[in-house]
Amino acid sequence: MAEAHSAVAFSFAITHEGVHVNYDREVLHVIWHSGVRSWRRNLRRFINNVRCGVFPASLSSLALTVGGYNAMYLTRDTYNHGVDLSFGFIDLLKKHVKLEEPAKGVVCCTVSAFAVWFGAFMFMKYSLRILYMYKGWMYEERGRGRKLSISTKLWILAVKLLTHFTRPMLYSYQGSLPRLPLPALKDTMSRYLRSVRPLMDDENYTRMEGLVKDFQKGIGKKLQRYLLLKSWWSANYVTDWWEEFVYLRGRSPIMVNSNFYGTDAILLHPTHLQSARAANVTHAAFLFRRLVDNQQLQPIMAQSLVPLCSYQYERTFNTTRIPGIQTDKIVHFSDSTHIVVYHAGRFFKMPCYYKGQLLNPMELQMQFEHILADESVPDKGEANLGALTAGERKPWAEARNKFFNKGVNYASLETIEKAAFVVVLEEDDYDYSPDDPTQLDRFGRAMLHGKGYDRWYDKSFNVIVMRNGRIGFNGEHSWADAAIMSHLWEYVLTEDLICIGADAPIMGHMWEYIMGEDFFEFGYKEDGNCNGEVTCNLPLPTRLKWELNQECQMAIDTSFRVAEALLNDVDLRLYMHTAYGKGFMKSCRLSPDAYVQMALQLAYYRDAGKFNLTYEASMTRLFREGRTETVRPCTIESSAWVKAMENKSVSNEERAKLLRIACGQHQKGYQDAMCGMGIDRHLFCLYVISKYLEVDSPFLNEVLSEPWRLSTSQTPHGQTSKMDLSKNPKCISAGGGFGPVADDGYGVSYIIAGEDTLFFHVSSKKSSPVTDSKSFARQIERALSDMRNLFQSLAKK
């Protein structure tokens, strides 16, 4: 009905009486507001780009400089005294400007003032970039009784002086961030050999030393020179290759293998109404998008002083991954005013704006209720259509080119790919019970892979809303790292939970947003519905139409069988550790992340009976366009401590000493990775160049084929300042996770949730005879218990 209405919004007829024009005033009004919104958006983006481009200076400082120069010049000419701040430059310009006074003087003063301001701006910008190259602050000891070095104190003072007077926008620091440094080849080789020492016996280690020596003296020098050239030419010598070769060129399914997930704040359940929860979350997501588009989102600062690169935020919304025969590509659209909703095997296009204004939560709830009340049946093949995005990439690319390149299929697919994001209204209930941990496992599986066909895995993210109001997300990995999606999710949960009456008062009040948006309070009424009222004639959601022939349905079924086999092999365990959290770890004067990583090393050794190559994701966003680097937690020091824990003859004092040494080494490895002195991204780029040059390196071939049998990642939180999580620990998400990286290994994601809680998401494959996620979760619990007992026994002495 809506399509038919739009089709006749404007028409004309020619008769013997003349030309008769018929038009729908309401539709033209909507079109007018859409155009105005687009122009306002483009103008705002242009102004913001200029403001970010001149940071740490400001446009107001330019105006003051120009005004001051003109005032001084006019004063000097009027009263024949005063100082010539241009030191004769204005008088020199006058000789070449053919204008009459006073226009000549104003133009010359303005040009001179701009030259001075521009020089000062460039000096500040590059001074800030040089200051951000300093990484000594990263290695300073923290905590009570620790003192900063003189050099770090002076550095802090200089950074504050340059950035104090201008409030930064989201992308303000981009031009001041340094490039990712390229480590010296010998340094990377030395770090690599040290990292594999606990994994190899003497014979294998000697063999590896020989491979390293041959590589370093041979082809390694040539590869390093090419990589040095790339590091000079590109903003980041890793990022583009990492995105292309690790993500986009992969031909295996992205479901489970690449996509990751996030979960609800499981200790709170604000409403059991599916439509209401979906509406508030959707509205909050669009507000986050507005903050990103307007660059009003504050950049994340390390130690409240050093900015992290923000470039990944740009592709959070209106972004999709497009399959290709040999390689995929990421497509980002500049704007989108709709989302796509999947419910009961059907796809709907749901408008979220009306006359240029974002619908309020209650209006969005009415939209979702309209979809839930729709009793139409799916078209043939439509219910399982999403399986194409879950299966192998090449068959999906072939099906897309053959069946979705024209007509109604093309139009519907384009609607999905141009949507801001996808919302999935589940038909099942999922909840959390401390007495039944399997409920949390089922919830995690629903977020990680669903049924293999009920997500659009190519979209930047899918918001998943259960029938009972529980929420989560599934995120595609190529466009950004998990920290960006975690920031969005934390913001969404904060806005959604801010008015539900948690046990402790929640910090902050709702903001009034710009762009003429009315003030709406988030939260829910006593009956579970959204706050607010319907204030406009809502544009109704419309069903997407498909014409899927038998051959296309066979392609869908083939992809579904691949996805089904993959998801049925996933063994996922979500473990909530409540015995203690980071509060106790800090009381032991240890880094919480290092503490947890040592627990994982001990748990893995007990589970597998040996050490294995371990991956921990670190970020390199202290540099322009930085993404991630690998930390290798299995070190000489950590293996010595693990062995000591398993040796009954070693005293607790010695065990605690070895643990502190291991945590210190881990922390240094993490700091090195953040500062661009990691191992694996450098080796990866050398390997890529070797393939371009078609040269073979036995060393690189062996290193790049080593499996990561324990792959770990910490979920960040505390990236928004709108809620004090220390006062409201129940409002934190249970974190998220990912699938196993190796067929015979574990994927472990964890979140240090407040002072007293840890969440672990442990994944493995059921088909592997050497892994068991539930058993490994028990080993984590045992390791954490033994570590606490270790320190408590020493405290009693």
The region of weakest confidence among 67-71, 120-124, 168-172, 546-550 is 67-71
pLDDT higher than 80, residue 284: yes
pLDDT higher than 50, residue 208: yes
SS3 8: coil
Q: Which two tokens stand for residue 625?
A: 């366009």
Region class of 452: left (phi > 0), else alpha (psi between -120 and 50), else beta: left
pLDDT of residue 87: 63
Q: Which sign, positive or negative, has the C-alpha torsion 618, 782, 727, 492?
A: positive
Using one digit for the tens of pLDDT, what is the confidence trace for 441-494? 999 999 999 999 999 999 999 999 999 999 999 999 999 999 999 999 988 988
Round to whole Å and give the CA distance between 674 and 672: 5
Round to whole Å and give the CA distance between 695 and 701: 11
Query: Among 283, 477, 666, 682, which one carries the catalytic annotation?
Result: 477
Using one digit for the tens of pLDDT, what is the confidence trace for 729-754? 677 778 999 999 999 999 999 999 87
219-233 and 680-692 are packed helices; what angle lies between their axes, rounded to 10 degrees?
Answer: 100
- Across 53-57, 113-117, 507-511, 678-682, the highest mean pLDDT is recorded for 678-682
- Mean pLDDT, to the nearest integer, of 250-268? 93
pLDDT of residue 256: 96
Using one digit for the tens of pLDDT, what is the confidence trace for 315-354? 999 999 999 999 999 999 989 999 999 999 999 999 999 9
Bond into 102 cis (ω within 30): yes
- Mean pLDDT, to the nearest integer, of 681-707? 94
652-674 and 773-795 are packed helices; what angle lies between their axes, rounded to 10 degrees?
Answer: 120
pLDDT of residue 521: 43
- The share of the chain scoring above pLDDT 90, in percent, equals 69
The length of the chain in residues reads 797
Tell me if residue 20 is catalytic.
no
What phi and psi, each to the nearest 5 degrees, are found at residue 631? Answer: -100, 140
Terminal C-alpha separation, the chain:
79
pLDDT higher than 90, residue 551: yes
Q: Can you spell out the DSSP letters for 131-159?
A: HHH--GGGGS--STT----HHHHHHHHHH
Round to whole Å and give the CA distance between 468 and 426: 9
202-217 and 185-196 are packed helices; what angle lies between their axes, rounded to 10 degrees?
Answer: 170
Region class of 253: left (phi > 0), else alpha (psi between -120 and 50), else beta: beta
HSE at residue 608, side-chain half, CA atoms within 13 A, is 21
Among 354, 369, 371, 337, residue whose Cα is nearest residue 535: 354
Q: Which residues pair with 737 in a beta bridge?
A: 261
SS3 207: helix
Bond into 56 cis (ω within 30): yes
pLDDT of residue 251: 94
pLDDT of residue 35: 66
Round to whole Å and give the CA distance between 679 and 688: 15
Cα torsion 328, 329, 335, 339 to 10°: value is: 10
- Mean pLDDT, to the nearest integer, of 608-613? 95
The pLDDT-based confidence of 794 (bands split at 50, 70, 90) is confident
- Mean pLDDT, to the nearest integer, of 600-622? 96
Q: What is the DSSP letter of 628?
A: E
Round to whole Å and give the CA distance between 463 and 472: 6
What phi and psi, each to the nearest 5 degrees, are found at residue 307? Answer: -75, 150
pLDDT higher than 60, residue 573: yes
The region of weakest confidence among 435-444, 546-555, 618-627 is 435-444
Using one digit for the tens of pLDDT, what is the confidence trace for 615-648? 999 999 999 999 999 999 999 999 999 999 999 9
Element at 227 (helix H, strand E):
helix 219-233
- Across 34-48, 81-95, 143-157, 476-490, the highest mean pLDDT is recorded for 476-490
SS3 554: helix
The pLDDT-based confidence of 70 (bands split at 50, 70, 90) is confident
Element at 272 (helix H, strand E):
none
- Mean pLDDT, to the nearest integer, of 698-724? 86
Among 142, 190, 148, 304, residue whose Cα is nearest residue 664: 142
pLDDT of residue 46: 80
pLDDT of residue 82: 54
pLDDT higher than 60, residue 289: yes
The pLDDT-based confidence of 505 (bands split at 50, 70, 90) is very low
pLDDT of residue 580: 94
pLDDT higher than 50, residue 519: no
Among 620, 555, 525, 607, residue whose Cα is nearest residue 182: 620
- The share of the chain scoring above pLDDT 70, in percent, equals 87
Q: Which residue has the tokens 């994340």?
A: 300
pLDDT higher than 50, residue 359: yes
pLDDT of residue 211: 96
The pLDDT-based confidence of 117 (bands split at 50, 70, 90) is confident
The mean pLDDT value of the chain amounts to: 87
pLDDT of residue 523: 81
Task: With beta carbons less than 8 A apart as the criterion, state whether 595 and 588 touch.
Answer: yes
pLDDT higher than 60, residue 577: yes
The pLDDT-based confidence of 205 (bands split at 50, 70, 90) is very high
The region of weakest confidence among 42-51, 286-295, 298-307, 591-600 is 42-51
The region of weakest confidence among 99-108, 147-156, 734-743 is 99-108
pLDDT of residue 95: 65
